[in-house]
Amino acid sequence: MAETKEKVIIFPFMAQGHIIPFLALALHIERQKGFNVIFLNTPLNIKKLRSSLPPDSTIRLLEIPFTSSDHGLPPNTENTDVLSYTNVFRLLHSSISLRPSVEKILKDLIRENPSRKPLCFIADIFFGWTAAVAKEMGIFHAFFSGCSGFGLACYYSLWLNLPHRKVDSDEFSLPDFEEASIFHVSQLPLNIFEADGNDPWSKFQLGNLLSWVDSNGVLFNTIGEFDQLGLLYFKRKLSKPVWPIGPVLLPSESRAKQNEFTSKLCRDWLNSKALNSVLFVSFGSMNTISASQMMQLAMALEKSGKDFIWVVRPPIGFDINSEFRAQEWLPKGFEERVSSRGLLVQTWAPQVEILSHKAVSVFLTHCGWNSVLEALSNGVPMLGWPMAAEQFFNAVLLEKEIGVCVEVARGKKCEVRCEDLAEKIELVMNLDSEKGNEMRRKSFEVKEMIENAMRNEINGLKGSSSQALDEFFSAAMAAKNSNA
Ligand code: UDP
């Protein structure tokens, strides 16, 4: 029987931090629009994805052939999760070699059903080349950014204004962001700090950005209400539409590595705590802190006297997925002394469940955008400790523009003092603190803003993010009809 539904192609870069938001997007499109979603990736990533799809999903997973050893990578490595910093770039660069296979898949899809050409192709921001491929085949194309508008805008503005490694000053401004403050060298991701315009990272990023010209626009996992500055940057720079359609988050059944034992442990523990009393500490799926930072953080948690859940990972220099050696990496006797008020989680934590619990008051986070969206959607204010990539700029957006965060530390090498950390924990968590109450009030406002943005039609009115998704598909449909 001929396919009657519209086809939407989705293609993320091979990194969990990219695949997860794309999977969330795929499920969102399937549920909101009922379209036929086709998810492209390399074989090992597709294999892993099979178990993440809910049983009722009809998303089609298509493999793109890939042999990592052809690109100087260790055998069977198709995801940044298992790669060193140097090899991450190799994997990124090797993705250009996927082009002929992607072209073939698109041609096959068109041949399969010429009267139902794919409606659109939504690709990763690192896959600039996909825009020309889609254009050649007359398919509407957009990038999807799993980052905030502001974070991505700063990130790309930095690439477009190299170099930044200055000897005379640690501070600099970017021409595109006069309003948004002065940047400090400690906010530079390592690859940008080292870039001079001629190194492999710069060449890749600048070439990638140039090819955006062939795209029809950019979808963002953010909401327009609090991320205008970054969205405007892209609108002006690209002279193309941007569609803030977020927050698009994974439904619980598709979240990775759920461990029922840990979930129950956290749930029972949180149920025993008072409303708004717990600090949740987690640095995401890939980042950890140095051994000395870890000691200071432990001492700060002890000094603060607050209840806390801390997702502990081995410090920098050790395999992040290896066993956590509390005796070695935490102050002597720490676990015993805090046993009544601190829960250390050594496995994958049920972060969304934790953030949505009424006992949780504040989130100490590395400001990865998924974590931020999860905190904002649950009205939880943040203590920011950005570590890498655009997390530094997310922290600026949260603190300076939205007012729901206080930065406590920056990067994996900075010196942190237990007294400073404890002071900031107190500032934000104390229920009598003016600053803390102001942040709680704003976080609650943002939570409501998000609920409104995602709202489907009530009395003929849609929320801004739902509306943006409609506008995106209307533009795709109009383009398809005019090409027909
Ligand atoms: N996460 C989780 N449990 C953990 C660590 C991370 O559920 O123990 C999830 C978290 O909820 C978020 C994602 O992993 O959805 C991390 O994404 P983010 O963009 O915040 O940071 P990244 O890990 O990409 O640096």
- For the chain, give every domain's residue range: 7-250+458-483, 260-449
Give pLDDT, residue 118.
96
Nearest protein Cα to ligand 1, atom 16: 284
29 lines ligand 1 (CB under 6 A): no
Angle at 322 between CA 317 and CA 325, to 5 degrees: 80
- Rounded to whole angstroms, the Cα distance separating 106 from 120 reads 11
Q: What is the pTM of this model?
A: 0.95
Sheet bearing 120-124, strands edge to edge: 60-63, 36-41, 7-11, 120-124, 140-145, 218-220, 242-244
Give pLDDT, residue 458.
73
Pocket test for ligand 1, best of 221, 370, 378, 387 (most atoms within 8 A of CB): 370
285 lines ligand 1 (CB under 6 A): yes
Q: CB neighbours (10 Å) of residue 282? A: 22
Q: Which atom of ligand 1 is nearest to the CA of 256?
A: 7
From first to last of its 484 residues, the chain has per-residue pLDDT tens of: 556 799 999 999 999 889 999 999 999 999 999 999 999 999 999 999 998 899 999 999 999 999 999 999 999 999 988 777 778 899 999 999 999 999 999 999 999 888 889 999 999 999 999 999 999 999 999 999 999 999 999 999 999 988 887 767 788 788 787 655 678 889 888 889 889 999 999 999 999 999 999 999 999 999 999 999 999 999 999 999 999 999 999 988 777 666 889 999 999 999 999 999 999 999 998 899 999 999 999 999 999 999 999 999 999 999 888 999 999 999 999 999 999 999 999 988 999 999 999 999 999 999 999 999 999 999 999 999 999 989 999 999 999 999 999 999 999 999 999 999 999 999 999 999 999 999 999 999 999 999 999 998 777 789 999 999 999 999 999 999 987 7
Longest Cα separation, the chain = 71
Q: Tell me the CA–centroid distance for residue 37 and ligand 1, in Å.
A: 24
Tokens standing for residue 344:
């250390």
Q: Tell me the CA–centroid distance for residue 85 and ligand 1, in Å.
A: 19
CATH number of the domain located at residue range(s) 260-449 in this protein: 3.40.50.2000
374 lines ligand 1 (CB under 6 A): yes
Name residue, tokens 């794309």: 22
Give pLDDT, residue 190.
86
260-449 shares the fold of 7-250+458-483: yes
Q: Which atom of ligand 1 is nearest to the CA of 255?
A: 7
Element (H, E) at 8: strand 7-11
Amino acid at 19: I
- Rounded to whole angstroms, the Cα distance separating 100 from 436 reads 54
Task: Evaluate whether the domain defined by 7-250+458-483 bears CATH number 3.40.50.2000.
Answer: yes
Give pLDDT, residue 174.
80
The Cα-based distances of 20 to 24, 212, 219, 347, 388 in angstroms read 6, 23, 15, 19, 18
Pocket test for ligand 1, best of 18, 19, 124, 285 (most atoms within 8 A of CB): 285
Give pLDDT, residue 257.
61
Across 5-33, b (16+ Cβ under 10 Å) vs e yields ebbbbbbbbbbbbbbbbbbbbbbbbbebb
Q: Tell me the CA–centroid distance for residue 367 and ligand 1, in Å.
A: 10
Q: Which atom of ligand 1 is nearest to the CA of 371?
A: 20
- Rounded to whole angstroms, the Cα distance separating 205 from 197 reads 9
Name residue, tokens 């007294």: 419
- ipTM here: 0.99
CA neighbor of 349 nearest in space, from 373, 374, 369, 326: 374
Q: Are 65 and 98 in contact (CB under 8 A)?
A: no
Q: Are 236 and 154 in contact (CB under 8 A)?
A: no
Q: Tell me the CA–centroid distance for residue 387 and ligand 1, in Å.
A: 13
**What sign does the CA torsion over 210, 213, 214, 216 have?**
positive
Give pLDDT, residue 258.
66
Q: Tell me the CA–centroid distance for residue 16 and ligand 1, in Å.
A: 9
105 lines ligand 1 (CB under 6 A): no
81 lines ligand 1 (CB under 6 A): no
- Rounded to whole angstroms, the Cα distance separating 147 from 372 reads 10
- Rounded to whole angstroms, the Cα distance separating 345 from 281 reads 10
Using DSSP's 3-state secondary structure scheme, residue 55 falls into coil
Nearest protein Cα to ligand 1, atom 24: 17
Give pLDDT, residue 115.
82
- Rounded to whole angstroms, the Cα distance separating 160 from 205 reads 9
Amino acid at 230: G
